[in-house]
A = this chain, B = another copy of it.
Amino acid sequence: MRIVSADTGGALLDENYNPIGLIATAAVLVERPYKTAKLSIAKYSDPFKYDLSGRMALKDETFLALKLAKKVKPDVIHLDSTLGGIEIRKLDDPTIDALRISDRGKAIWHELSKDLQPLAKRFWEETGIEILAIGKESVAVRIAEIYAGIYSVKWGIEYAMKEGFVRIGLPRYMTIEINKEKILGKSLDSREGDLYGEISMEGKEFEWEIYPNPIARTFMVFEAKS
C-alpha cells in the first residue's frame, strides 16, 4: 500500500514555552515497511502570524497532500482527522451530523467540508484515489507529523543563523539528532515500532540542544544558536 499523508507541527515557543505559532506542514509518501517516508515535501507558515485558534492546518495539509499525490499517484491519502477512516468525498451535512464526534467537531467539519468535500470528490473521480479521515490510527499520519517536526527544525536552524537563537516545540514524543548534513527525527514512543524520518541540510555552524518541555510532558524542545 502506497500512502500519502500530511500533518502540521513544530511550534515556535516563547521564553515561557508557550506556542507563538506553527511552523511547517509536511506531506509524505509512505510505502512498505511503513517506518519512514520515501519522499517528503514541506510548506512553511509564518509562525509570527499563525492563527492558533483556527482550523487552517487541515486545509493546508489537504492541499499539500494533493500536491504530492498528483506526482506520486498513491493508493490512498490519509488526513490527520480521526473520523474512523471515512472518505472525505462522502462528508455531506447529514453524514457529519451522524458522526460520533463532539458538537464542536461537527461544527468544524460542517465548515471544512464545504471546501474539502468537493475537492475530494473531484480528485477521486479523476484518479480513483480516496482521501480518508483516519487520523491517529494511521502510521503515515504519524510519519508526516515526525517530518513536520524535522522541517520545523530545518526552518529553525535557518532562523537561528539570521536571528541568533530559536526555540521550537517538537510534535509529541519525538526527538531530533543532527549528524553532519542530516536532520534525523525519531519517535520516542516505543510502541510505534521505530518510526523515523530524515532530510538533508547544508552544513552550518551552530550549537543545538534538545530537552523535555517542562510544561508539556512527553514533548521535547529544540534550541539552536549561531
Contact = CB atoms under 8 A, between A and B. Distances in A.
> Secondary structure at chain A's binding surface: helix, strand, loop or mixed?
loop
Interface stretch (A90-98, A103-111, A137-145): A137-145
Interface in A138-156: 138-140, 142
A215 B173 contact: no
A179 interface: no
A217 B1 contact: no
A144 to B, nearest CB: 12
A32 interface: yes
Interface string A190-218: 11110100000000000001011111111
A71 to B, nearest CB: 20
A35 interface: yes
A6 to B, nearest CB: 15
A190 B188 contact: yes
Interface string A101-138: 00000000000000000000000000000000010111
A190 B188 CA distance: 6
Interface string A175-199: 1000000000000111111010000
A178 B172 CA distance: 32
Contacts of A172: 191
B212 A35 contact: yes
Given A1-B16, A136-B217, A137-B215, A189 B190 contact: yes
Contact of A190 (B34, B190, B209, B213): B190
A77 to B, nearest CB: 13
A14 to B, nearest CB: 11
Contact of A217 (B16, B35, B142, B211): B142
Given A16-B1, A189-B191, A220-B193, A214 B140 contact: yes
Interface of A: 1, 3, 16-17, 30, 32-35, 85, 134, 136-140, 142, 172-173, 175, 188-193, 195, 209, 211-218, 220
7 contacts: A35-B211, A85-B215, A136-B217, A137-B215, A139-B215, A188-B191, A193-B220
